[in-house]
Chains A and B, each alone.
Chain A
């Protein structure tokens, strides 16, 4: 639960609006009567940051008091208010999850439950809960198999429902979850390999449960250092826990499958499991792919080139064709002669396994174009199987608290 809400808060902070986030929570832990901190969910034992209610970052608030002149800059930091859950309780099931991905929802569903993406959207899917070899449990009574996930992604690719996709799984044996994906432009990562558990990061003794999982904790920790305008690439992201540490290098040698040369990500010692990455379907260079491509809603703005100063003089021209992409720093010619831009990309839709066709200059061009134009459309599916450890071991912590009370009396 805290895993998902932490991820939710982060992507929202990075500029993805609620209308483009589909959040699935199977349980309402915050409002459970057994929650000792009603209406709040914390991802760390210090309980600095409530992920559920106000979203006020108490640390940031303290900083504000120290530096009053920074007041306005801090406005945005604390501004993650409320959580918009799109699917909750028993709506969170395998069928609905697959329907959201493939877009095959009944017509009466409101827009907030639709994944309204097209070929220019980047999608980030985050899955967490209890898992096993090739499956992930939903609601204690059903499960989604890795093959179902692969097929769903395959159908999304056929209908051009995404441009790039990232799948992140934090469960036990998570790396088996993405083994059956076969569609191009997908990068997948998981917290632990086959036969391995994914452990929690630490416990909160007052609540009596583990609050967040290790893998997610470190991912979020890294993302916390990133803001909207960040130029950090996926390469940096996966190098998360310094590759200068000798342990990582050792693992590089021992586990060449999981740690391919570039993706020498997360530190297995800290995470307590071996996170995996699958990038054979991902034709783009990780050094060119920004973290905000998946985690942030950064729109690339364009101003008309001839405008520049003309605008300051108060003139508005009508047929401006040259537009200047502010962030990319290159002129983009649009309008009539824009011609065949996306055709090259589209032809990829049929040969799924043929990744070799992605190499070469044409690909990088396509990438530049699409990424520069589409960041505003980044969509995100966050999915969670809630009911982590919160409610499970709540009862165990209760006697302790009571006895303490008795002592005080």
Chain B
């Protein structure tokens, strides 16, 4: 008997250690498992409090003024100084986006450095020039790009430090006229980008494509084997790209397709007197309105050389591409013109050999179709001169697709409208575009930042990591720098609006990077029943033996307690018996 208990006690652990063993399972699970589980499943969500400060930045709030330089043609420097001061006072600062300044003598040196100069006004003698102000866009002119403004004929009063000119004095000095002209050029509220223009992107790709509709149909040298695109780009596109350098980094690609079929058959019409020599009646092929909208056959034309560019490790990943297509209809389909251009003229239309048809596709590019494609007879090469018209159109469309504003018609003179300026972007357009872009990037940055904070508060599963917070904070910093205290401390004249632009551009890029940070994808929302469905099969089988053991232990303990109680009663009874026996003795 005693040996059996001894053996039992050595094999089975004591009830104390048994209970410890059983309890250690749930205790370890609770003490270590739950914190570990919490740690691994928690979503890192850092504070984005910095965003709160950008709410104060209003959309389009640009305090920085465009410095406009004033000079006078001919004699009389004293009056210019007076006029400039007077205009700055006559037009209140909150009504204008510009600030007049006198031309310094040293400015002459900066004219030749190729960059777009700051806008300037040239005061001209009323007697020699027309009264209305205009912008000089004749490239050969020495005052190219300047706003020619008629100088007031009356002598101007010298203004003291605090004196304010009377309204009639202002008017006589031409303040109203100046305000109108300047509002057209540099409006207080900057233009938003027109709908056909692409959204601002720092890296842009231009793709110039020469398309032979069907080179095999053009016997021998009649097809365009190649084009002198480099020369054409140098002549027509390069100046524009250089002028826009502060905004865009441009990648240019070119491509030649020898088989670019259309998806439709153009209509045909007989025309008299097409303008060709020895030709009184001939067939003209027409592209209707609906055909034009499906003209670019993206399905069969392999446009774009993105892959090649990619192999050369040019980072083109997200570049918007503007495509400029020079389409050469195949033999037997010439001339190919837009039906629109023939409308209303009956049969009296003449199509000169140099005619081109062109249309623009918003946010995509433009298409040029020469009626009679020129090329060099011997080798089928197109020289840059033969593509002059096409590239002039491309240049114009390119500017518009990038959102460069054109000069207001009211400030254009008739005699200048036929000019073909080498540099199309005047300082006025540049400054106006700069203000537009500053506003657009500011809005974009503020919008992105606020939408990040809105999304983070709405989607609870969205992680907010260190990188995101870093980007958001630097973006906010850049915005506050651009519009905040910097201006009070040092108003660096050389920085000016360009400095603001650099900062807003950076702010917008950083905000975008924060928004598109790959860590921001919250994976995922699970409904509660999914959680049970996942955890139950995992934990139920494990917990069964533990729970059963605990129940058993509890039962055993209760049994023991019961046994001990009855044993205790017996012991008492025994004691009682013993005491009675003692009494009896």
Contact = CB atoms under 8 A, between A and B. Distances in A.
A376 B325 CA distance: 15
B518 A105 contact: yes
A298 B521 contact: no
A76 interface: yes
Interface stretch (B2-10, B284-292, B482-490): B284-292
Contact of A312 (B290, B316, B355, B421): B355
Nearest to A350: B454
A198 to B, nearest CB: 22
A319 B409 contact: yes
B79 interface: no
**Contact residues on B (Cβ < 8 Å of other chain), bracket:** 35 or more
**Contact residues on A (Cβ < 8 Å of other chain), bracket:** 35 or more
Interface string B371-406: 100000000000000000100110010001000011
Given A95-B521, A111-B317, A311-B357, A326 B199 contact: no
B362 A303 contact: no
Contact of B525 (A151, A160, A307, A334): A151
A15 B294 contact: yes
Interface in B289-314: 289-300, 303-304, 306, 310
Interface stretch (B27-35, B123-131, B187-195): B187-195
A111 B306 CA distance: 9
A299 B361 contact: yes
B299 A76 contact: yes
**What does DSSP make chain B's interface, helix, strand, loop or mixed?**
loop
B378 to A, nearest CB: 25
Contact of A318 (B184, B299, B310, B421): B421
A85 interface: no
B298 A15 contact: yes
A309 B341 contact: yes
B123 to A, nearest CB: 24
Interface string B31-50: 00000000000000000000
Given A228-B294, A318-B420, A338-B191, A373 B525 contact: no
B261 interface: yes
A225 interface: no
Contacts of B304: 19
Most A CB within 10 A of own CB, among B355, B421, B521: B521
A311 B396 CA distance: 14
B392 A316 contact: yes
Interface stretch (B249-257, B345-353, B568-576): B345-353
Contact of A309 (B345, B358, B359): B345
Contacts of A104: 516-518, 520-521
A76 to B, nearest CB: 4
Nearest to A322: B409
Contacts of B515: 103, 159
B455 A154 contact: yes
Contact of B295 (A111, A148, A301, A346): A301
B340 interface: yes
Nearest to A369: B195
A147 B340 CA distance: 50
Nearest to A308: B341
A103 B520 CA distance: 10
A240 interface: no
Contact of A327 (B289, B358, B406): B289
B284 to A, nearest CB: 10
Given A307-B358, A313-B352, A321-B409, A95 B523 contact: yes
A376 B361 contact: yes
B293 A298 contact: yes
A323 interface: yes
B327 to A, nearest CB: 13
A127 B400 CA distance: 38
A158 B455 contact: yes
B314 to A, nearest CB: 12
Interface string A300-333: 1111100111011110111111011011000010
B93 interface: no
Interface in A100-135: 102-107, 109-111, 114, 116, 118-120
Given A94-B523, A317-B417, A370 B362 contact: no
A341 interface: yes
A239 interface: no
A327 B520 contact: no
Given A15-B299, A75-B263, A335-B405, A303 B192 contact: no
A205 interface: no
B417 A158 contact: no
Given A301-B295, A302-B362, A311 B518 contact: no
Contacts of B261: 72, 75-76
A120 B306 CA distance: 22
B294 A298 contact: yes
A17 B443 CA distance: 32
Contacts of B521: 95, 98-99, 102, 104
Contacts of A406: none
Contacts of A297: 298
Contact of B195 (A13, A73, A324, A338): A338
Contacts of B400: 334-335
Interface of B: 184, 191-192, 194-196, 199, 261, 263-265, 289-300, 303-304, 306, 310, 316-318, 337-338, 340-341, 343, 345, 349-352, 354-364, 367, 371, 389, 392-393, 396, 400, 405-409, 412, 417-421, 424, 432, 443, 447-448, 451, 454-455, 458-459, 515-518, 520-527
Interface of A: 12-13, 15-17, 19, 72-73, 75-76, 79-80, 94-95, 98-99, 102-107, 109-111, 114, 116, 118-120, 145, 147-148, 151, 154-155, 158-160, 228-229, 297-304, 307-309, 311-314, 316-321, 323-324, 326-327, 332, 334-343, 346, 349-350, 369-370, 373-377
26 contacts: A12-B299, A17-B298, A76-B264, A95-B523, A102-B520, A114-B318, A118-B199, A148-B525, A155-B455, A158-B455, A159-B451, A303-B360, A311-B341, A311-B355, A312-B371, A314-B355, A318-B420, A321-B409, A326-B289, A327-B289, A327-B293, A337-B408, A338-B195, A342-B192, A374-B195, A377-B364
Given A304-B360, A316-B389, 7 more contacts: A15-B299, A147-B525, A298-B293, A312-B357, A318-B419, A334-B194, A335-B406
